[in-house]
């Protein structure tokens, strides 16, 4: 008899990770084809499209290193994705907020891992600012990771008693 663990676990939600990954890579492709590196296309007073290559991690941390960071960050990110996949497998399919948060983080992480390992940098192109104060540029993968983290925190707040009650069943 076939194992239907996928139909009962959080792994059922992995299709959302594939959508996040595909959307991230598609938008990065459009940005790469349409924008010139480091030249802002002003959309309005608070928003630009600006193609950037980030060789570091969040907020360009470690970007000025000799190149070792590409492999170290990639390796750590892969380990985190593996951990999240194991966590997802242990979840029930009905744990919507938790599972959606996890698969969004996984999809975003895979999008950035792909860039880092294949290109040696992550493609960023969304730039938000107020006057001369600029938020570090980001991409769809970063947005998915941020929303995923939000859903994980929301699940922690809303379902804080689920862990203690699940042990009593």
Q: What is the DSSP letter of 144?
A: H
Give the separation between CA 74 and CA 161, rounded to whole angstroms.
35
Residue 24 known to be catalytic: no
- Name which of 117, 149, 113, 105 is nearest 16 in CA terms: 105
Cα 50 from Cα 40, distance rounded (Å): 4
Of the listed 3, 142, 161, 162, which one is catalytic?
142
Q: What six digits make up the tokens of 52?
A: 């950037």
DSSP-derived secondary structure letter, 58: G
Sheet containing 133-134: give its strands across: 41-44, 47-54, 122-130, 133-134
Q: Which of 24, 115, 124, 155 is catalytic?
A: 124
CB distance 148 to 105 below 8 Å: yes
The helix or strand, by DSSP H or E, that contains position 45, with its residue range, turns out to be none
| Catalytic residue check, 45 | no
List, by residue number, the catalytic residues.
124, 142
């Amino acid at each position: 008899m076939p194992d239907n663990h996928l139909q009962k676990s959080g792994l059922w939600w992995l299709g959302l990770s594939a959508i996040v990954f595909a959307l991230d890579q598609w938008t990065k492709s459009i940005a790469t084809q349409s924008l010139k590196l480091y030249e802002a296309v002003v959309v309005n007073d608070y928003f630009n499209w600006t193609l950037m290559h980030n060789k570091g991690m969040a907020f360009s941390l470690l970007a000025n290193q000799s190149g070792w960071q590409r492999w170290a960050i990639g390796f750590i990110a892969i380990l985190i994705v593996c951990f999240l996949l194991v966590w997802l497998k242990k979840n029930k399919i009905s744990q919507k907020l938790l599972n959606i948060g996890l698969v969004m983080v996984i999809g975003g992480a895979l999008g950035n891992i792909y860039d880092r390992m294949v290109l040696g940098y992550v493609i960023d192109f969304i730039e938000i600012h107020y006057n001369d104060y600029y938020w570090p540029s980001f991409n769809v993968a970063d947005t998915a990771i941020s929303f995923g983290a939000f859903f994980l925190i929301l699940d922690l707040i809303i379902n804080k008693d689920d862990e203690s009650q699940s042990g009593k069943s």
